[in-house]
Amino acid sequence: MVTRGFFSGRRPPSDTDARIPPGQYLEQGFPVLSAGPTPRVRTEDWSFTLKQGPKPLKKWNWAEFNALPQSKMTRDIHCVTAWTKFNTPWQGVMIDDILADAGIEPPTAYTLALSFDGYSTNVPTKDLVTGKAMVALLYEGKPITPDHGGPARLLVPHLYFWKSAKWVNGLQFTERDEPGFWELRGYHMYGDPWREQRYSSDP
Amino acid sequence: MTAEPSPQSPWQAATITRIEKRTPRVTSFWFRPSRPFAHLAGQHVDIRLTAPDGYQARRSYSIASAPETGGGVELAIERLDDGEVSPFFHDVAAVGDEIELRGPLGGHFIWEESDGGPILLVGGGSGVVPLMAMVRHRTLRNKAVPVALVFSARVWDEVIFRDELIGLDDRRDGFDLVLTLTREPARRPSDYSRRIDVRMMAQAVERLPKAPRLAYVCGSNAFVSAAADALIGAGVPAGLIRTERYGV
């Protein structure tokens, strides 16, 4: 349906069209969105735990985690509130390297990312491995600020950005695809921006 | 791939039935959806504009009207000069226009009667809009729930819903309005003239008959960060504070 009198709009440059998923617009800034107050997690209190169901598989403190092999990923990111930001540079530990350090293969097909503030979000395990996702420690070469999820946040850039849990403190492998915080509140279980999977009623 | 029946589009046409300027920068638009829906106080809708060449712009807007107000929803839209959707509403949209709308949406920043109270609402600028739906819902539904609204605006003339809010405050029925103006002196004895801080939040908590069951904070990111930190400083547990940020 064409909207009467809507012409101009903020069209992205045509050479970037192919990088902007449907319904998104290009954002130069880095907006902050979260469901509650910003937790200030001190690195001396920080830890990261791999779990299978309730059972801990391995736990790292901040120094141990930072000693793992680190990688860089520069990616376009897409927020469900309709902004897309190009070329965001992150550095952190690939999920593959976390699993390798724990000496395990992914035990189940589904994962819940867990955060210090009680947030959670579900991601299929296959979307976290083979170079697709990391626990990011640096943004633009500097420690991630608390409002962007520091000290550490999940980075799953090919899904809407609510899947990239801020203040992440663990991954829990689950037998079934269990909805997380936003997925229990009307948002999509998978969240592919290219298929515009924003809300639970989207196919 | 198996063929599935194509689901009904979540988008629907809604007709603008009324337009009313609220402040120099905020105007209310009432929409009558072709498929009416029930919403919860605090929810939003998505709006989608389509240009003749197919280009689309979409934005989320909070619903200002109470669920009890049948026949459509009120959105209070702030004009952002560098925006692409809000200038369309302020400069082009007219009564009778059809706009594509999707919703209601959102399952976190909502207040229902069953959530109970007291509740503490903290809004900055147009961040008051979803809080207004909660205040109206409480007025129409359950006045027994004590509510305090701390509303920060730059100046008196930018206090959205000012006459309605002061009218509700004057009833003294358990709804308390606290205005704080950041660029003008306070006009009413109970009001402030400064940015939100811990002391102001502590005094807002004291206005309630007992500790708040939930607190809702909405506004710009900078506002929400400062207000949520001030609430925590005033002793409100972080787990009771729900936030909604415009993102910028």
* pLDDT, tens digit (0-9, with 9 covering 90-100), for A9-55: 667 777 777 899 998 989 989 999 889 999 999 999 999 999 999 99
Average pLDDT over residues A88-105: 98
User: Which of B9, B43, B55 to mutate against chain A (most A CBs within 10 Å)?
Assistant: B55
Are B45 and B120 members of one domain? no
Q: Which domain holds residue B121?
A: 113-245
Are B129 and B230 members of one domain? yes
Are B44 and B130 members of one domain? no
Helical pair B128-141 and B162-170, crossing angle rounded to 10 deg = 40
Are B205 and B165 members of one domain? yes
The domain at A44-73+90-195 falls in which architecture? Alpha-Beta Complex (3.90)
- Residue A57: predicted pLDDT: 97
Chain A residues inside the 8 Å CB shell of B51:
2-3, 6-9
Q: What distance in Å separates residue A31's CA from the closest CA in chain B?
A: 4
Paired tokens of B207: 């206005």
Are B119 and B235 members of one domain? yes
Q: What distance in Å separates residue A36's CA from the closest CA in chain B?
A: 5
Interface of B with A (CB under 8 A): 4, 7, 10, 13, 48-52, 55-60, 84, 88, 92-93, 97-100, 105-109, 221, 225, 228-229, 231-232, 238-239, 241-243, 245-248
Chain B residues inside the 8 Å CB shell of A79:
247
- Residue A10: predicted pLDDT: 67
pLDDT band of residue A8 (cuts 50, 70, 90) is: low
Q: Domain ends where: B69, B85, B105?
A: B105
**Peptide linkage before A146 cis (omega within 30 of 0):** no
Q: How far is CA B26 from the centre of its chain?
A: 12
User: What's B169's domain CATH number?
Assistant: 3.40.50.80
Q: What distance in Å separates residue A14's CA from the closest CA in chain B?
A: 12
What ipTM was assigned to the predicted interfaces of this complex? Answer: 0.89
- Residue B71: predicted pLDDT: 76
User: What's B66's domain CATH number?
Assistant: 2.40.30.10
The DSSP bridge partners found for residue B151 are B123, B179
Q: Domain ends where: B105, B135, B170?
A: B105
- Residue B248: predicted pLDDT: 56
pLDDT tens per residue across all 248 residues of chain B = 444 445 578 999 999 999 999 999 999 999 999 999 999 999 999 999 999 988 888 899 999 999 998 879 999 999 998 888 999 999 999 999 999 999 999 999 999 989 999 999 999 999 999 999 999 999 998 789 999 999 999 999 999 999 999 999 999 999 999 999 999 999 999 999 999 999 999 999 999 999 999 999 999 999 999 999 999 999 999 999 999 998 65
- The reply to whether A109 touches chain B by the CB within 8 Å rule is no
Are B79 and B151 members of one domain? no
Residue B82 lies in a domain: yes
Q: Is A162 within 8 Å of A80 (Cβ atoms)?
A: yes
Which string of DSSP letters, residue by residue, matches A46-58?
-EEEEEETTEEEE
Are B167 and B241 members of one domain? yes
Chain A residues inside the 8 Å CB shell of B93:
5
Residue B5 lies in a domain: no
- Residue A120: predicted pLDDT: 98
Count of domains observed in chain B = 2
Q: Is B25 within 8 Å of B78 (Cβ atoms)?
A: yes
Chain A residues inside the 8 Å CB shell of B13:
1
Are B135 and B237 members of one domain? yes
Paired tokens of B85: 């959707």
Average pLDDT over residues A133-151: 97
Report the C-alpha gap between B247 and B245 in whole angstroms: 5
Taken in order B59, B62, B66, B68, the sign of the CA dihedral is: positive
